[in-house]
Structure 1
Amino acid sequence: MNTSPVWDPAREIVVDPDSPEPRYFQVARQLHAAIEGGRLPAGTRLATELDLAASLRLSRPTIRQAIQFLVNQGLLVRKRGVGTQVVRTKVARPLRLSSLFDDLAGLGASPRSQVLVNQVEPADADTAALLEAPGLARVRRLRRIRSAGGEPLAVMNNYLPDGLVDPADEDLRDHGLYQLLRSAGLRLHSAQQEIGARLATAEDAALLHEQPGAALLTMQRTTYDETGRVVEYGRHVYRASRYSFNLSLTNGLR
């Protein structure tokens, strides 16, 4: 018998029909906030799409789109016979908002970047969602190989709302992205970061001087300014043989 709690959305979610935000995104954003804030702990069951739609006075396709948005982010899961459940909650910790360039420079490693892509292009729906900006028309896409001592360490992929910065390739070769953002007057405040691992593809191997199938570390980071706006989404891969992440955990250890 399933005894996980069922959450009542009518007490949490308010949809503004006059907002420029799509209604599905308003629902998804507030569900996300409830998960992040601990009001929807892991294991909580959501009501059915029909019940949610009736409770919020929205269409079922709108609710389905909002739920799928969070399923794609890994926050919700659909289980046959159980329904939709919260999979996990993210632990919010203070992050040192530095780029790999900053970290390498701090170690005296003379970092450099090879710029593969630096262009403005139309923003598709997935990219706009990653930047939490529904309706975003254009995005700056960056792709670089970050090296130290002439040796490649990482392939960096970044997406920014168009208009925040307009860096030349020379700027990107000699400076970190966060340094360029701060120089443009942006005040970086916080970030959400996920670290994982995968095996190198043939393209990864060629760019990073590794063998296909070699272990790579992965990192996804969403960076916010002091107003809560997303200013950058990064998706990077690092050579596990040459790079590691260090986390200091101090709270709650007994």
Structure 2
Amino acid sequence: MRGSAMSARSSPPKYLAISADLRERCLKMPVGARLPSERWLAVDFGVSLMTVRQALAELASAGWVERVAGSGTFVRRPRVEMGPSLTSFTEDMRRRNLRPSSRLISFERVATDSDVARELGVRPGDEVITVERLRFADGEPMCHELAHLPLHLLSVLESADLEGSLHEALTAATTVLVSATRKVRALPAPPRECRLLDLPVGSPALEITDTFYDTRNRPVQTARSRYRFDRYEVLSKLSRQPNNSRPRQQPEEA
């Protein structure tokens, strides 16, 4: 008797189990779809309305649903917050308990243009490696990525899993990325990328261009990634720089 009581106390609350179940259902439903009513869910799970409301509140706080008073609960997708730290797409997804994956579109040697040449520290027209991929989270397209890397990394990439993490492959080959520069802008996504990202043609995208550097401050990779506008937001931490100039003193009155 005492053991069963301890087991009951150690088991997670029912609303968390229901929330996890509903999250799996949301993944199979399109954004904007309406969930069954609270009363229907209470009967379906065999719990009280209060427990169902707790489960829906948990989903809403995580960004999986939107609750509209008088209308119901609707499926949405949580936004991924991109912070100021240096992390890869794979790391970002894993931290959010999402399953990262990629689909390789192309892997080739090309003559570089002036913009990429400047970022990688090579001459325009020099050959570089390009890796074009579509990145997924839990099977949903999140980002179209076009990466350029110096030609001396060709053997590393030829033996790497290009549908996995490029950063992990480079680290395994003793090329550790320790710093980066980042440019962010919003723009209309080209029709091809709208199709790849499962967005209506004409949708906006969040374009992020990163150039990564190794421990010797050498550019190792520059990547232009276009993210779904409805799934990403950028977080920046700002602080005011101290003002070293002293305020001018007012002249004393005679």
What TM-score, normalized to structure 1?
0.57
Q: 2:168 aligns with which of 175, 179, 200?
A: 179
Give the AA of the match of 1:229.
R
Give the AA of the match of 1:142.
V
SS in 2 for 1:189: strand
User: Can you give the 5+ residue segments of structure 1 that lack an aligned partner in the other structure?
Assistant: 1-93
CA-CA distance at 1:251 after TM superposition: 5.0
Check the 8 A contact 1:110/1:149 in 2, yes or no: yes
Check the 8 A contact 1:98/1:178 in 2, yes or no: no
Check the 8 A contact 1:115/1:169 in 2, yes or no: no
2:137 maps to which residue?
148
Check the 8 A contact 1:118/1:169 in 2, yes or no: no
User: Relative to structure 2, which stretch is displaced further, 106-115 or 136-145?
Assistant: 136-145
Cα distance 1:251–1:156, how it changes in 2: closer, same or farther (>3 A)? same
Distance across 2 between alignment mates of 1:137 and 1:203:
27
Is 1:99 aligned with 2:88? yes
2:122 maps to which residue?
133
Check the 8 A contact 2:111/2:124 in 1, yes or no: no
Q: How does 1:52-201 map onto structure 2 within 5 Å?
A: 95-134=84-123, 137-164=126-153, 166-168=156-158, 171-173=161-163, 175-201=164-190
CA-CA distance at 1:249 after TM superposition: 2.3
Report which of the two structures shows the higher radius of gyration computed on alpha carbons: 2
Give the AA of the match of 2:111.
P
Give the AA of the match of 2:119.
L
Distance across 2 between alignment mates of 1:118 and 1:234:
14
Check the 8 A contact 2:107/2:132 in 1, yes or no: yes
CA-CA distance at 1:135 after TM superposition: 6.8
Is 1:215 aligned with 2:204? yes
Cα distance 1:253–1:209, how it changes in 2: closer, same or farther (>3 A)? farther
User: Can you give the 5+ residue segments of structure 2 that lack an aligned partner in the other structure?
Assistant: 1-82, 244-254
RMSD: 2.5
* 1:173-210 Cα shifts (integer Å, max 9, x gaps): 1x222111111101222111011101122112111000
1:226 maps to which residue?
215
Percent pairwise identity? 28
Say which structure, 1 or 2, has more relative contact order (CA 8 Å, 6+ apart): 2
1:37 maps to which residue?
none
1:82 maps to which residue?
none
User: Relative to structure 2, which stretch is displaced further, 244-253 or 97-106?
Assistant: 244-253
SS in 1 for 2:234: coil
SS in 2 for 1:211: coil
Cα distance 1:151–1:170, how it changes in 2: closer, same or farther (>3 A)? farther
